[in-house]
DNA sequence: TGGGCGTCT
DNA sequence: AGACGCC
């Protein structure tokens, strides 16, 4: 059996752990730059605030009743780790799928006692971390996801729902379930399925896999088998090193200032370099891009990217920054109001399998070792003393590109100076 | 009116 | 490169 453990309204729940006054209130958490609503409490959902809704589109009358918080990823990331730590005590097979979801394998466990085990696990997560979670159990990940939705929606499950792939109950449920509720099926695909007369999960499950593969892809074929209870989506690639590393941000406000762009790119490159070194990779090229705000039809639009090849594969932030800067220099255009920029590290290879180039002048071993030590120390300082303890250059004050986050709560669990206080 | 991936075509 | 999907 497979369990999908999903935290309820995760970001909101994290905030509530440290501010219990938010309990029972309509609370939402916003994406970067206070852009869209990415987490909602049950109460704010009832007020009609939709997932993904731009904050500025919320009716002012509704907005006044809500608490809208900026996202606090330092806090959510740490809480997420605590939750997965507890889950790991219950089975050796935990696949962390996202910040608030894990797939657990209970292969070899006694099926009869699984629901009860999961209840115990769920209560322990709540007790040890303060985060409420729901558990869906079935024989495939897609059905476990559906079971999880039921566990969340139907009170009677008490947070743990099991769906046997061939039970009457499952058939009845799938016959009422629109295809859009299935993992991997969203609007566009649902519309195409409708033209084939497929609107419910049951109809899809009963469809001919080979035929649907012709209309769609192998992904759709897998979904059909998954709905039948056959586990065929494998997540082992989650731990595989990334093939590209992308870092980009929208600016807090529009800017036409070249220095803003350079500073932003430098910060993004640093972050990308950290990620690259963490997976022990090297990049052979770096892509730089800039773009204007596509929602501002009153301003000229300009989207441009450029790939800069690197002389030799590298993970040195300074080299990456030099290349990115050169790229930026070539695509920057004056008198344009920029909204966003970013970098992508491409053509990655493993640190240990670096291919030596014939023509490029190789770095001396001594120089290479020195650069490596420098980057390792940089990463260590930032890991242990907080982000940006040491960085490439220092951004000017009041720059346009730093994020808007007007309602961020303290980083209660990861900063000494922001610890939660217990009143005496 | 987000950011960062992935797969398939 | 673009479409589509996920969270």
The DSSP call for residue A386 is -
- Of A161, A192, A220, which marks where a domain is finished? A161
Q: Are residues A223 and A251 in the same domain?
A: no
In a domain, residue A115? The reply is: yes
Q: Are residues A9 and A156 in the same domain?
A: yes
**Predicted confidence pLDDT, tens digits, chain A (424 residues):** 999 999 999 999 999 999 999 999 999 999 888 889 999 999 999 999 999 888 988 999 999 999 999 999 889 999 999 999 999 999 999 998 889 999 999 998 998 999 999 999 999 999 999 999 999 999 999 999 999 999 999 999 999 999 999 999 999 999 999 999 999 998 888 988 998 999 999 999 999 988 888 888 888 999 999 999 999 888 765 567 888 899 988 888 889 999 999 999 999 999 999 999 988 889 999 999 998 888 887 888 888 888 899 988 899 999 999 999 999 999 999 999 998 899 999 988 888 766 555 555 666 788 888 989 999 999 999 888 878 888 888 878 778 777 778 888 998 988 888 888 887 6
Please identify which residue in the block is written with the tokens 């058939």: A171
3-class secondary structure, A74:
helix
* Strand C, nucleotides covered by protein (CB < 7 Å): 3-7
Q: Are residues A229 and A155 in the same domain?
A: no
What are the residues whose beta carbons fall under 8 Å from the beta carbon of A221, sequence distance 6 or more?
A209, A210, A212, A213
Full-prediction pTM beyond 0.75?
yes
In a domain, residue A132? The reply is: yes
In a domain, residue A402? The reply is: no
Q: Are residues A264 and A192 in the same domain?
A: no
* CA–C1' nearest nucleotide, residue A213: B8
What's the CATH number where A187 sits?
Answer: 1.10.150.20
Give residue A172's domain range: 164-238
Tokens of A400: 């346009």
In a domain, residue A398? The reply is: no
- Of A132, A161, A190, which marks where a domain is finished? A161
Q: In what order do the strands lie in the sheet with A338-350?
A: A245-255, A338-350, A281-292, A303-314
Q: Are residues A128 and A204 in the same domain?
A: no
For residues A400 and A261, what is the distance between their CA atoms, to the nearest angstrom? 9
C-beta of residue A37 within 8 angstroms of C-beta of residue A53: yes
In a domain, residue A408? The reply is: no
In a domain, residue A156? The reply is: yes
Q: Are residues A20 and A133 in the same domain?
A: yes
Domain count, chain A: 3
Q: Are residues A260 and A336 in the same domain?
A: yes
CA-based radius of gyration for chain A? 24
Q: Are residues A112 and A88 in the same domain?
A: yes
Distance A408 CA to C7 C1' (A): 21
- CB closer than 7 A to strand C: which residues? A 97-101, 145, 182-190
Q: Are residues A298 and A220 in the same domain?
A: no
In a domain, residue A171? The reply is: yes
What's the CATH number where A80 sits?
Answer: 3.30.70.270
* CA–C1' nearest nucleotide, residue A186: C5
What are the residues whose beta carbons fall under 8 Å from the beta carbon of A370, sequence distance 6 or more?
none
Q: Are residues A66 and A215 in the same domain?
A: no
In a domain, residue A142? The reply is: yes
Distance A57 CA to B9 C1' (A): 35
What's the CATH number where A265 sits?
Answer: 3.30.1490.100
For residues A174 and A159, what is the distance between their CA atoms, to the nearest angstrom? 20
Q: Are residues A17 and A112 in the same domain?
A: yes
* CA–C1' nearest nucleotide, residue A238: B6
- Of A133, A161, A189, which marks where a domain is finished? A161
* Strand B, nucleotides covered by protein (CB < 7 Å): 1-9
C-beta of residue A159 within 8 angstroms of C-beta of residue A249: no
Q: Are residues A374 and A295 in the same domain?
A: yes
């Amino acid at each position: 059996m497979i369990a999908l453990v999903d935290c309820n309204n995760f970001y909101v729940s994290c905030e509530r752990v440290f501010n219990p006054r938010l309990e029972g209130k309509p609370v939402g958490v916003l994406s970067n730059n206070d852009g869209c609503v990415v987490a909602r409490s049950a109460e704010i959902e009832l007020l009609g605030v939709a997932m993904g809704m731009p904050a500025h589109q919320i009716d002012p009358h509704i907005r006044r009743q809500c608490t809208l918080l900026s996202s606090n990823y330092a806090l959510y990331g740490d809480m997420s780790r605590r939750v997965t730590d507890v889950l790991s005590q219950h089975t050796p097979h935990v696949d962390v799928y996202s910040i608030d979801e894990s797939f657990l394998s209970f292969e070899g466990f006694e099926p009869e006692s699984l629901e009860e085990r999961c209840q115990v696990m769920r209560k322990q997560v709540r007790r040890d971390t303060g985060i409420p979670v729901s558990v869906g159990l079935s024989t495939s990940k897609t059905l476990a996801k559906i079971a999880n939705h039921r566990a969340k929606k139907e009170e009677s499950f008490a947070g743990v729902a099991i769906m046997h792939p061939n039970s009457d109950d499952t058939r009845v449920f799938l016959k009422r379930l629109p295809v859009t509720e299935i993992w991997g099926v969203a609007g566009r695909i649902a519309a195409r399925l409708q033209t084939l007369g497929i609107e419910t999960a049951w109809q899809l499950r009963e469809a001919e896999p080979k035929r649907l593969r012709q209309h769609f892809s192998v992904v759709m074929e897998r979904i059909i088998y998954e709905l039948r209870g056959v586990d065929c989506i494998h997540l082992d690639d989650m731990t595989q090193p990334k093939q590209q590393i992308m870092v980009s941000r929208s600016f807090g406000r529009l800017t036409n200032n070249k220095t803003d762009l350079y500073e932003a790119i430098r910060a993004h490159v640093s972050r990308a370099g950290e990620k690259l070194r963490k997976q022990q990779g090297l990049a052979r090229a770096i892509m730089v891009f800039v773009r204007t705000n596509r929602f501002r039809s009153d301003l000229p639009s300009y989207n441009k990217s450029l790939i800069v090849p690197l002389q030799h594969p590298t993970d040195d932030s300074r080299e990456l920054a030099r290349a990115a800067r050169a790229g930026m220099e070539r695509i920057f255009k004056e008198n344009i109001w920029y909204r966003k920029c970013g970098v992508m590290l491409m053509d990655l290879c493993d640190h240990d399998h670096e291919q030596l180039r014939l023509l490029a002048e190789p770095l001396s071993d001594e120089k290479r070792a020195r650069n490596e030590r420098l980057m390792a120390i940089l990463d260590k300082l930032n890991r242990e003393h907080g982000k940006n303890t040491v960085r490439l250059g220092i951004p000017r004050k009041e720059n346009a590109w730093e994020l808007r986050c007007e309602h961020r709560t303290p980083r209660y669990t990861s900063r000494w100076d922001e610890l939660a206080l217990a009143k005496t």
